Every structure is written in structure tokens, then in C-alpha cells.
Amino acid sequence: MDSDFLPWVAAHSENIQLRFNAHLESHTTVARHLLHRERIGETLHFSGQNARSACIDETLWELSIRHWDGHDTHLAGPSLDECLALAEKLLFPSTQGALAA
């Protein structure tokens, strides 16, 4: 992860929320937690289907970012590193050129 990413996202967002195994607060499964998030319009983005499956089988890290324009980005991964790497890949300007190709 680029060491400039977290300060950049903090400076370019209204709010950041990081959660670990939030499904346990509701005494439910990861799969049901993900369905609930989708039902309320908070679709979580994963790096791929394997990442989603790993979250269901193991642990769930979630990063939610409220941007200054009012829209939210919700990302998830089976590890903190994977969740932050996805956020950097999708949001950090220095890596966005690679995504457009």
C-alpha cells in the first residue's frame, strides 16, 4: 500500500469508517450481513469473487468512505491489507490511470 494513500483519502473525504466482523453485532452470518447491506443500498465492492467467498468463510473487513460530494464507497475484503489495497486501487489518483486501460 502506498504510504500516501490514507492521508490522501482522509483529506479527500468527509468520513471514513473501518469495521471488522460487523456482522457479529447483529448475531448473524457474513452472508446475511452482506445481503442486508445490499438491501439498504450499501453494496460492498470486493476485489473479486474469491475475496467475497473468503469473507464469508473467514473474516470480513469493511471500509466505508463518504466523499465530499455526498456519495459513499463501500469496500470489503477478508483482510485489512486486501481491503485497503482495493481502496487504493479504486480511489488513489496515482493508480487510477492503470484502471482506465
Contact in structure between 62 and 93 (CB atoms under 8 Å)? no
pLDDT in tens, 32-76: 999 999 999 998 999 988 999 999 998 999 999 999 898 999 999
Q: Residue 22: which pLDDT band, with cuts at 50, 70 and 90?
A: confident
Domain annotation covers residue 71:
yes
Other beta carbons within 10 Å of 95: 14
Give 78-87 pLDDT, tens digit per residue: 999 999 999 9
- Looking at the domain assignment, is residue 30 inside a domain? yes
Q: What is the pLDDT of residue 21?
A: 92
83 within domain boundaries? yes
Give residues with Cβ within 8 angstroms of 56, minimum separation 6. Answer: 29, 30, 31, 34
Residue 101 lies in a domain: no
Q: Which domain holds residue 55?
A: 5-93
In a domain, 14, yes or no: yes
Please give the grid coordinates belonging to residue 7: 492521508
State the total domains in the chain. 1
